Amino acid sequence: MRTPQEPSPTFLLTGRRALVTGAGSGIGRAIAVAYAAAGADLVLLSERDNLDEVAEAVRAHGATATCVRFDLADVAGRAGFVEALLDEHEVDVLVNNAGVIRRAPSETFPDHDWYDVIEVNTHAAFHLARAAGRRMLARDGGKIINIASVLSFQGGVFVPSYAASKHAIAGLTRALANEWAGRGVNVNAIAPGYVETAVTEGLREDRERRAEITARIPAGRWATPQDIVGPAVFLASAAADYVHGHILVVDGGWLCR
Catalytic site residues? 162
**Separation CA 213–CA 55 (nearest Å):** 33
**Separation CA 110–CA 87 (nearest Å):** 37
End-to-end CA, the chain: 42
Q: Which ranges of 60-196 does DSSP label H, i.e. alpha helix?
A: 75-88, 111-118, 125-138, 160-180
Q: Which ranges of the chain does DSSP label H, i.e. alpha helix?
A: 26-37, 52-59, 75-88, 111-118, 125-138, 160-180, 201-205, 207-216, 226-236
Backbone angles phi, psi at 4, to 5 degrees: -60, -25
